[in-house]
Amino acid sequence: MPVPTTERPIVTDEQQRARAAAVFDALGAAYEQAFAGSEAHHRSLEWLLGRLAPGSRVLDVGSGTGRPTAQTLVRAGHEVLGVDVSPVMVELAARQVPAAAFRCADIRELPLADGSYDAVCVYFALLQMDRAGQADVVRRLTRALKPGGHLVLATVPLDVEAVEGVFMGQPVRVTSFAAADLTAVVEEAGLEVLGREDVLFTPAHPDAVPEPQLFLHCRRADTLPAG
């Protein structure tokens, strides 16, 4: 999570996408190294693995370098599509996890057929979108799940909007929800929260600071809300 500096006007979706791609292009493998020690992330993946049928189809949103999420899932025999806006991250992921498929794309624009995935992973992938965009993505991803499918979502649960800051030496603009508000977003999308974990984690990077993290483990309802 970045150290806040000052607030700025809201930028367009295209500008958000370009800035996010630039940040993670610059970080590359350093991001994986900084977060490799996250035990909560590994516990979240174990939770998901315990609920997937053999050969499940999983969408990994903000797939980064492909590790640990895509790698863990394909090693367990699942079919994984990773999506990331950073071409550097996609190239790294394709090299490190060749058994998965990766696409350089904005999840807001990627065509997603209803009921096409058994599970969706969203680990810290929404923080550079505005709140309306985050809520819309959660709704889209919920529709892309099969009834009874699972979604795991992790974020930094702070009540901040369009805050400029620095993350691992890179300038970023961050928006997030407080934990209760994010829970409301996922429930309104048609997800049932089956479990959650709150942790304080310090990335292994000289410019990183301790950050709160929230992991939500959810299941799609059989019938989604209208709209």
Question: What pLDDT digit, counting tens, does each position of 132-143 carry?
Answer: 999 999 999 999
28 pLDDT tier (thresholds 50, 70, 90): low
Closest Cα partner for 181 from 211, 157, 197, 212?
157
Q: Which of 80-94, 146-160, 163-177 has the lowest mean pLDDT?
A: 163-177
Compute the distance between CA of residue 31 and CA of residue 167 in angstroms, rounded to an integer. 10
Compute the distance between CA of residue 26 and CA of residue 215 in angstroms, rounded to an integer. 26
The arithmetic mean of pLDDT across residues 88-105, rounded, is: 96
Closest Cα partner for 147 from 218, 217, 225, 220?
220
pTM of the predicted structure, to 2 decimals: 0.90
| pLDDT at residue 3 is higher than 90 | no
Fold category of 3-220 in CATH:
Rossmann fold (3.40.50)
| pLDDT at residue 200 is higher than 90 | yes
| pLDDT at residue 4 is higher than 60 | no
| pLDDT at residue 114 is higher than 50 | yes
Closest Cα partner for 75 from 49, 50, 37?
49
Domain ranges of the chain: 3-220
105 burial class (0-12, 13-18, 19+ CB within 10 angstroms)?
middle
Q: What is the pLDDT of residue 171?
A: 84
Average pLDDT, the chain: 90
| pLDDT at residue 145 is higher than 80 | yes
Closest Cα partner for 107 from 73, 64, 60?
60
- Which distant-in-sequence residues (6+ apart) come within 8 Å of 50 by Cβ? none
